[in-house]
Amino acid sequence: MRNGAQKGRRRNAAVDVKDRSNSISGRSSATRTSEEIATIAEFKKNGRGETVRVSLSRLNGTVIADIRTYFLDKSGNSQASKKGLALLVTKLPELADALQKAVTEARQRGVL
């Protein structure tokens, strides 16, 4: 019984920490502002009109690299999807290295 009570307290403590972190930052997805700085590259993903766009953006004052799938809405306008990757620009060299390793591996396996 004592272990169950301790587990319950831990779970509640985790919830409290989460609640505090949200109130401390004062940020929610509704208050985030994003501004595209530059589109670096864009290529077709498939035959349904989806593309992959690589861009630099500013999110709440921080410059990020954004690699995102875009789709055509019913009006034919390109819209960003939730599918993608956003990371600090300082991580770009590590990402480039990892992608180069993936290309090398794919070529060695004969799939590229």
pLDDT for position 30: 59
Cα 57 from Cα 49, distance rounded (Å)? 23
Q: What is the pTM of this model?
A: 0.68
pLDDT for position 34: 82
pLDDT for position 33: 83
CB pairs under 8 A, 24+ apart, for 105-110? none
Mean pLDDT of 46-58: 95
CB atoms within 10 A of CB 66: 20
Above 60 in pLDDT, residue 109?
yes
Q: What is the pLDDT of residues 64-101, one digit of tens each?
A: 999 999 999 999 999 999 999 999 999 999 999 999 99
Q: What is the pLDDT of residues 13-51, one digit of tens each?
A: 333 333 333 333 444 455 778 899 999 999 999 999 999
Mean pLDDT of 50-61: 96
Above 50 in pLDDT, residue 56?
yes
Question: Which region, left, alpha or beta, applies to residue 96 given φ > 0 means left and ψ of -120 to 50 means alpha?
Answer: alpha
